[in-house]
Amino acid sequence: MTVECPDVEVESGVEAEPLAGLAVRARDGDSAAFEGLYRRLARSVHAVLLARVRPSDAEELTQEVFLRAHQRLRMLEDPALVGPWLHAMARNAAIDRLRSRGRRPQEETLTDRSARAERSDDELRARMLEHIRALPEAYRETLMMRLVDGLDGPAIAEATGLTHASVRVNLCRGMEMLRSRLKEEGWP
């Protein structure tokens, strides 16, 4: 099982501009600024979704979240909170998707696997995703951003609005919990 995130490249000019500035320009109709928001935040939005739904749904919902954001950007009161605003939209989209399928969010966690046959890299990745989804939300989202979508600590902090210290704590505690759960299953 491979997990793909939206194919996003960050341009140097967009990377240097604060997210709040991009949000203001996008709110005023600047399509290049909105593309900049997408390039900077699509991976973290994808990670928030992946923490809750299947990879195929996460990819589809990433696009839906940005479409909704484009339609509702004028309602964003504080442009400095564009990252957390998009992540809240992603959480709500994931919950809506789960509800539409007749599932509650907590049902998308660990499945009971009694067979411990040969373990492949794909199986380990699948188990990691399942275990990450079962972690508390703060750890789940930051771990998905780091391990699946490859964001570093400062990028996670910028996207989420968390402090650098909070991101470090969430990553550290989340990794400890993940390692412990994998070890209980016999993974090295």
Assign 103 a pLDDT band (cuts: 50, 70, 90). low
Q: What is the model's pLDDT at position 176?
A: 94
- Whether 10 shows a pLDDT value over 50: the answer reads no
3-state secondary structure 83-131: HHHHHHHHHHHHHHHHHHCCCCHHHHCCCCCCCCCCCCHHHHHHHHHHH
In this prediction the pTM is: 0.74
For range 123-131, the mean pLDDT: 84
Q: What is the model's pLDDT at position 104?
A: 53
- Whether 187 shows a pLDDT value over 80: the answer reads no
Domains of the chain plus CATH, in order, are 12-107+118-184 (1.10.1740.10)
Q: What is the model's pLDDT at position 42?
A: 96
Q: What is the model's pLDDT at position 122?
A: 75
- Whether 28 shows a pLDDT value over 50: the answer reads yes
C-alpha to C-alpha distance for 103 and 24, rounded to whole angstroms: 37
C-alpha to C-alpha distance for 162 and 151, rounded to whole angstroms: 14
